Structure 1
Amino acid sequence: MELFTANESPEKLGIGKANILIQPNHKAYGQLNKHAYFSQSYADLHARPFPVSNVPLRVSQVCFLHQEGDSQAVELAHLHELCHRYSVNPPLANASCFYQKMGEYEIRWERHTEFSSYTFLIHDSGLKPFDCPPVALVPIDWLEGISGELIAAVHIDALSEGSVTLERDHLRQYFEGQRLMGSELHNGEAIILSALRLHEDNFNRILLVNTSLNECQSGRVLRALLEIEAYRNMTLLAFPLAQQVSIKVSKMESQLAMLLKKQKDIKSSNDEQKQLAELSAMAANIAEIIASSRYRFDAGSAYYEMVRSRLAELEEKDINELQTFSAFIDRRLSPAYRTVLAAKRRLDDLSSRVDRASDFLRTRIDMAIEAQNQALLTSMDKRAQMQFNLQQTVEGLSVIIMTYYVLALCKYLLDASSSLGYTFNREVALTLLMPIVLISVWMFSRRIKNAVQKIAP
């Protein structure tokens, strides 16, 4: 589109130069200094997309719990082997997900923190629901070579509304006659049915009847159902551990009660030290249990919240008086989850009580030690006072002794003076000298004592 005619300039039309349309230079402002994770933060939003699915669709998913040594490289190498069999492009190095067409079926591999999921899809229907699941087409030797331990397995058949009879007794034949549960989704746009039990092939089965979902909505429902199956089983991994921890905590609570009861009868420091050693050993045992169970308890809580979130996405409504997935799973899963929370809470409470008991006992020991130190200081003070008194006595005796020796020397001098012809009374002279010498010696000793006190710290 032309902005101006050939004879009309912007100035003639009254348009300033600032209002002239300028083509943006994307290369200029698109090269700003970026954070290292700038692009990755946007790419992560679209990682592991849900499958865009049209009905009919058959799905099989197996989830394997990671064991020690089940690294990402091992799984990628195993996927490379399958790709080589079908002559397709293998996954990239360090990939955490992989989607590829393998002959008649499609594989979707996703590696999570604790498990990896392998989903197999066929975009058609069998002769009847669950008649020929996609996993049956995967080479059995390759399936058996997957690293880890199987934690979840489910078949999902997605059919159109007119391709199956929605009559309860008729539908039960697809679930080996077991009691069904089901619901309507998204205001009647789809129906899900399942027994939520393992069947003869050790897989759960879910039938999805699509009435008016588009391919994107159907893919999101399919993803939610697969995640509910995986996260539900991952949540329950914490339950047996919680039961074991509860038994240990009950025993240690009784042991702590006995130790606290014995504190009333403690009479000697040896008993205090012995009980403190028992409390320290119990605290170390509790710390070991916390270290070995806390991750599983926290992971179980996270998985439980994800199950609830995926169930909320389904927007279930009752149908034909059947129990909904949400009601059934919540009724079974919530008690296990509360058991995990109770075990975690009891363990933390026991740890706090042991710490308080240890602090109380340490306080008693510290007070006893302080009393002993006070008595020792009092005794040392008495001894110091005795030594001071003795020192003063010795100082007095020293002054007298030194005076005696000085007077003895003076006597020799007086005797020598008599022999030279000087006549005076020697006894009177010594008597007059005695106080002078005594005072002089005493002052001299005091001066030395004061000098030593100034030097001493």
Structure 2
Amino acid sequence: MREHEVRRQVVSEMHLRRWPLLQLPVAVFQWVLEVGPGEREAERSVLSALCGSQSDEENPRHLSGALSGDVSFTWERQSEGSTLTVFCPGRAIEVLLAPGLDSSVGEAIDWAETMPGAIIRATSIWVGGDEAEVERALPAVDFNRSELVSCGLSGGVRIWSDFRIHPDGRGRLVVSAGEVDRSDLTRQLQQLQELGNYRNKALLGLPVAQEAWPRLDAAERELAALAKAVTSSAASDDDLLAQLSDLSLELSTIATSIDYRMNATAAYSRLVEERLAQLAPEPIRGFASLVDFTERRFLPAARTCAALTERERQLTRRARQISELLRARIETRIENQNAKLLRSMERSTTMQVRLQQIVEGLSVVAVSYYAIGLLGYAIKGASHHFDWVDPEVAIALLVLPVLGCVWFALHSLKKRVLGGD
């Protein structure tokens, strides 16, 4: 037996890439990056320069290691980019506002910001002990109270965030662990971050949808005008077919430019819904919950992207239907023209047959005339030897038999040549 070449890759995909067990209090910094194909080599160079980040795989998808002091990191590669998370245990909540005051944290953030790629989401997280302790520390965090979201999670965990980008370029999230088991806390916090990461990745489709929407408006107006023109005979079929071909090409171009992003948005939206169901946030009086925030801010954007995809498909189907109607109209006109041509050919053939019949009658008369003339010479010659032969009477008596014989001979010849038709 031999091992399949992708067996280990498949098995590794089935295992959870869990965060290390969190030691409270802890500050966590996470970056979700969009890394292009040309930046992957630079990314590997930055990671391989760290002690402990080496891997047996040539192109690893998950790495972890230690940075300066007690700071550690995990890195994971996804299809569209990478996620880098830095863990700083034993830090107070003030580290969210001024991470540079802690040399280990500052060095870790400086190293993280050398990673190539475009930032999709950056988050600063602080996890404290019980809820009362965290609430006393909250004034140190510059949250916008009017937009503050706070809700409970299972096991007594509570979160606070305004989901805004602060002056340091990162969002801020504060969590109280309560009495929940540390492994459950780590799992819930990772799911919470995945919820936010998938939400931002899904929202990448919104600018694409907003840009494509006016193009679909223009295509719909043109399609309505074409549908009206197809029902009338004012425009030529060639002009209509050319316009319809241009419109179909425009719809195909729009579909090509939005399909990948819209499909990705739909997939990420399903993941957001799954993570939200797994977290099962519990609302707290006086605060918007995570469910409220998601339904008010995220779902309209996701539905806009879904509506754009459905609208593009409907316009494509309508363009295809109008094209079929136009082709049916062209085929009907061609069939009518062919029918007219066949009727004209039939009339021409009928006239030819009638003319041929007239010629046949004249031919019988002409042949009979010449035959009677030849017989007349013979009868006149015979009258010199036989007195009882009257040439004029004899020729007169031969007219009808000769006509009948000539007609019968020509008719038999025609029947033999035409095969009885």
Partner of 1:121: 87
Is the CA contact (8 Å cut-off) linking 1:80 and 1:91 kept in structure 2? no
Partner of 1:61: 30
* In structure 2, C-alpha distance between the alignment counterparts of 1:422 and 1:91, rounded to whole Å: 136
Report whether the alignment pairs 1:195 with 2:158. Answer: no
Partner of 2:363: 398
* In structure 1, C-alpha distance between the alignment counterparts of 2:29 and 2:113, rounded to whole Å: 13
Determine which of 99, 109, 123 is the counterpart of 2:75. Answer: 109
* Mean CA deviation greater in 75-84 or 287-296: 75-84
Report whether the alignment pairs 1:149 with 2:118. Answer: yes
* In structure 2, C-alpha distance between the alignment counterparts of 1:262 and 1:299, rounded to whole Å: 38
Partner of 1:21: none
Is the CA contact (8 Å cut-off) linking 2:206 and 2:302 kept in structure 1? yes
Partner of 1:321: 286
SS at match of 2:165: coil
Q: 1:288 to 1:422 in 2, by over 3 A?
A: farther
CA deviations 1:49-78 (Å, max 9, x no partner) are 4543333333222122244x44xxx52553
Partner of 1:298: 263
* In structure 2, C-alpha distance between the alignment counterparts of 1:427 and 1:358, rounded to whole Å: 82
Is the CA contact (8 Å cut-off) linking 2:72 and 2:88 kept in structure 1? yes
Deviation at 1:279, TM superposition (A): 3.3
One-letter amino acid matched to 2:180: L
CA deviations 1:10-46 (Å, max 9, x no partner) are xxxxxxxxxxxxxxxxxxxxx8x99997776554321
Q: 1:395 to 1:225 in 2, by over 3 A?
A: same
Q: 1:287 to 1:452 in 2, by over 3 A?
A: farther
* In structure 2, C-alpha distance between the alignment counterparts of 1:37 and 1:124, rounded to whole Å: 41
Structure 2: runs of 5+ lacking an equivalent: none
Matches within 5 A, 1:413-452: 430-431=395-396, 434-452=399-417
Report whether the alignment pairs 1:186 with 2:151. Answer: no
Q: 1:415 to 1:315 in 2, by over 3 A?
A: same
* In structure 1, C-alpha distance between the alignment counterparts of 2:68 and 2:419, rounded to whole Å: 102
Is the CA contact (8 Å cut-off) linking 2:383 and 2:390 kept in structure 1? no
Is the CA contact (8 Å cut-off) linking 2:94 and 2:140 kept in structure 1? no
* In structure 2, C-alpha distance between the alignment counterparts of 1:222 and 1:277, rounded to whole Å: 57
* In structure 1, C-alpha distance between the alignment counterparts of 2:58 and 2:23, rounded to whole Å: 31
Deviation at 1:402, TM superposition (A): 3.3
SS at match of 1:46: coil
Is the CA contact (8 Å cut-off) linking 2:201 and 2:265 kept in structure 1? yes
Partner of 1:249: 216
One-letter amino acid matched to 1:380: M
Q: 1:332 to 1:432 in 2, by over 3 A?
A: same
Q: 1:88 to 1:357 in 2, by over 3 A?
A: closer
Partner of 1:210: 177
Is the CA contact (8 Å cut-off) linking 1:187 and 1:317 kept in structure 2? no
* In structure 1, C-alpha distance between the alignment counterparts of 2:191 and 2:340, rounded to whole Å: 74
Deviation at 1:324, TM superposition (A): 1.7
One-letter amino acid matched to 1:243: Q
CA deviations 1:124-149 (Å, max 9, x no partner) are 42573424388743484774451x32
Q: 1:272 to 1:162 in 2, by over 3 A?
A: closer
The normalised TM-score by structure 2 is 0.82
Deviation at 1:192, TM superposition (A): 1.4
Is the CA contact (8 Å cut-off) linking 1:61 and 1:120 kept in structure 2? yes
SS at match of 1:212: coil
Identity score, percent: 28
One-letter amino acid matched to 1:65: E
SS at match of 1:86: coil
Partner of 1:226: 193
One-letter amino acid matched to 1:240: P
* Mean CA deviation greater in 288-297 or 348-357: 348-357
One-letter amino acid matched to 1:121: F
Structure 1: runs of 5+ lacking an equivalent: 1-30
The normalised TM-score by structure 1 is 0.77
Q: 1:103 to 1:163 in 2, by over 3 A?
A: farther
Deviation at 1:186, TM superposition (A): 0.2
Q: 1:214 to 1:402 in 2, by over 3 A?
A: farther
CA deviations 1:402-454 (Å, max 9, x no partner) are 334444555566678789x7886555555555545544443443344334434
How many residue pairs get aligned? The number is: 414
One-letter amino acid matched to 1:280: S
* In structure 2, C-alpha distance between the alignment counterparts of 1:209 and 1:203, rounded to whole Å: 20
Q: 1:320 to 1:445 in 2, by over 3 A?
A: same
Q: 1:312 to 1:388 in 2, by over 3 A?
A: same
Partner of 1:18: none
CA deviations 1:295-331 (Å, max 9, x no partner) are 3222212212211221222222233622222211221
* In structure 2, C-alpha distance between the alignment counterparts of 1:418 and 1:145, rounded to whole Å: 134
